Chain A
Amino acid sequence: MSRFGIVVFPGTWSDRDCAHALAVAGHPSVRLWHQDQDLQGVDCVILPGGFSYGDYLRAGAIASHAPIMAAVRRHVDRGGLVLGICNGFQVLCEAGLLPGALLRNAALQFRCQPVTLRVERVDTPFSHTCRAGARLRIPVSHGEGRYYADPAMLARLEQRGQVLFRYVDAAGRLDPEANPNGSVAGIAGIVNERGTVLGMMPHPERACEMVLGSADGLRVFQGIAEAGAGAAR
C-alpha cells in the first residue's frame, strides 16, 4: 500500500478533497504542513489545488520556496512520485521541477467546467491503468492554466514524450473549442523526464465518484498506488 502525503500551504483548499478521493480509492493519507522539513516517509507527495499565499506575486511562486519544498526536491531526486494538481502544477513549474509556466487563461475568465482529457502515455505511474488514447472526463477550475513553453522547450517536451494529458473534444481530437484556457498544443498535464513528477491543471480528486458526474479521476490515484506498491523501497 502506498502512503500519500498531501501538502498544505496557507490558501490551499483542495487537500480535503484529495484526502477524500484517496479514501474512496482505499488509501490513507497524511497532511504535510508547508513549514515541515520532512515528508514522514510517504511514497507520493500531492501538491493540491488552491491559492497558496493568495497567488501573490505569481501563482505558486511563494509556495515554491516554502521549507517543505526542499524535502520535495530530495524526494524527486530519489525518484519519488509527486502529483501537482492545479495550483500544485503552478508550484512545480515555479520550483523548476517541471518545465514551462502557467499564464492567465486566454479568455481572461476563471473556468470551472468538465473537460475531456486524452491520455498520451500509459507507461507512467500516473497513467498505467489507462488504455492508450483513453479519454478521461475531469473538471478544471482555474484562472491561470494556460500552459506555456517556448517553441524549443515545447519541441523537447514532445520529443521526450513528456505530455501526458491534452484537452480534446468528445471524439478525442485536438480542438481549440475544447481547450479551456488556450494552452499551447492543448497541454493539460506534463511529466518530468523520468516520468515521476506529474503536473496537471484538471482536478482528478473532483471526479472520484459517479455522484460527482465522473469517477475517471480515480485512475490517477489508483495508478500511483499500484505503482508505489510495486516499487522497491
Chain B
Amino acid sequence: MPTDHRDRFVADVVVTLKPVVNDPQGDVVREALHTLGFAEVAGVRVGRYLAVEVTADRATARARVDAMCQQLLCNGVIEEYRFTLRPADRSVPAPP
C-alpha cells in the first residue's frame, strides 16, 4: 500500500434524500428559518456528510469511494450522493 503523503485523499461525501422523497426534517428547518425572518428560504433538504480518508492514488480513490457509496454509505432506494476528493492534510482538520 502506498503511504506517501501525496497518495492520501479525503473524500467529502454528501448524501441526501432523493428530490422525490419527502423530507419532513427539512420542512421543519425551513419553517424555523421563516420564523427567524429568512422569508427568502424556499426549501431546505437535510442530508448527511462523511469525510472518508483513503490511501490510494486519485483515480483509484475515486473509484473506491464511489463503490463505498453504492454499497453502504448511500441507500439508492431513497438517497443520492455526490463527493469531491481533496489531498489529505494531517495538520488541519478540514471543514465540510
Contact = CB atoms under 8 A, between A and B. Distances in A.
A219 B78 CA distance: 32
Interface in A61-86: 61, 65
A100 B76 CA distance: 10
A65 B72 contact: yes
For this complex, into which size category does the number of interface residues on chain A fall? 20 to 34
A69 to B, nearest CB: 13
B59 interface: no
Interface string B11-22: 000000100111
Determine chain A's interface SS by DSSP, over half rule.
loop
A103 interface: yes
Interface residues of B, number: 13
Contact of B75 (A61, A104, A182): A61
Contacts of B77: 93, 99-101, 148-150, 153
A155 to B, nearest CB: 15
B22 A106 contact: yes
Interface in B1-43: 17, 20-22, 24-25, 28
B73 interface: yes
B72 A150 contact: no
Interface string B74-93: 01011000000000000000
B75 A101 contact: yes
Contacts of A107: 24
Contacts of A100: 77
Nearest to A149: B77
A20 interface: no
B24 A106 contact: yes
A211 interface: no
B28 A148 contact: no
B13 to A, nearest CB: 11
A101 B77 CA distance: 7
Contacts of B28: 108
B56 to A, nearest CB: 22
Please give me the 8 A-B residue pairs with the lowest Cβ-Cβ distance, nearest first: A101-B77, A101-B78, A108-B24, A106-B24, A101-B75, A148-B78, A58-B75, A104-B25
Interface of A: 57-58, 61, 65, 93-94, 99-101, 103-108, 148-150, 153, 182
